[in-house]
Amino acid sequence: MRISALLICRNARSFIETCLNSVRRQTHPPDEILVVDGNSQDGTLEWLHQQPDIRVISQLGHGIANARNTGILAASGDCIAFLDADDSWEPEKLARQYGLMSQNPNLQAVTTLLTKSNDPDQAEWVAMTPSGFLVNRTVFDQFGLFNEEWVVASDHEWFIRTIRQGLTYEVIPVNLVLKGIHDQNLSIIKRKRYRSEMMAIMRQQQSL
């Protein structure tokens, strides 16, 4: 079972090195590392092109959903592990997920727990965010890609939609993801848009 690590970034020069190094430190390394760059202007793209172990894809469309879809379509792995450029993984993250999926062939996805970088108490949360998930790529054939209609909340819409339609997933009850929280998070910058999209998504799902 081949694993594609899929990173997405835009103007992430201050985060991307830590993020990528967390992928490189995996005890079960991915078979390929793809980075989809959304037209970075801060030196991110130039730095990425100096890294010999990654494949850089320049995003032709717009938005986070398009970036993830671009990477999914380009990936060669049987499973895809998502990672946003401001997040990072603990070294055993992929190994724990790979082991669980190998033992359970009907399992379609695995996530873990996460902590947030701005939380001094290091509270643990279920990682219902792409950076937590290892996903069998057949899931996208069954349930579809990320909906590019949603600017901020496309990942939440995807999780709600696929779980309602029968996605089989498990949570490893161990903190294996650090979620970067800062004033450049899209859900913070566009807080009002995020709330309105989530309300629209919930109404849409309730009407199905």
Which is higher by pLDDT, 153 or 136?
136
What sign for the dihedral angle of Cα 102, 104, 108, 114? Answer: negative
Question: Which strand (E) or helix (H) includes residue 99?
Answer: helix 93-103
pLDDT value at position 30?
Answer: 98
**Non-local CB neighbours of 124 within 8 Å, separated by 6+ positions:** 113, 114, 115, 175
Q: How far apart are CA 7 and CA 34, in angstroms?
A: 6
pLDDT per residue over 64-109, tens digit each? 999 999 999 999 999 999 999 999 999 999 999 999 999 998 999 9
Amino acid 147 reads N
Q: 25 by DSSP, 3-state: which?
A: coil
Note the pLDDT of residue 180: 82
- Residue 57 bridge partners (DSSP): 36
160 forms bridges with which residues in the sheet? none
The confidence score (pLDDT) of residue 187 equals 47
| The pLDDT of residue 192 is above 90 | no
* Mean of per-residue pLDDT scores for the chain: 90
Closest CA to 109 of 134, 88, 127, 145: 134
Q: Enter the tokens of residue 10.
A: 């835009």
Residues 193 and 187: their CA atoms lie apart, in Å, by 8
Residue 189: which pLDDT band, with cuts at 50, 70 and 90? very low
Comparing C-alpha atoms, which of 7, 75, 1, 78 is closest to residue 38?
Answer: 7
Whole-model pTM: value is 0.88
CA distance 208 to 202: 10
Give the pLDDT band (50/70/90) at residue 196. Answer: confident
3-state secondary structure of 50: coil
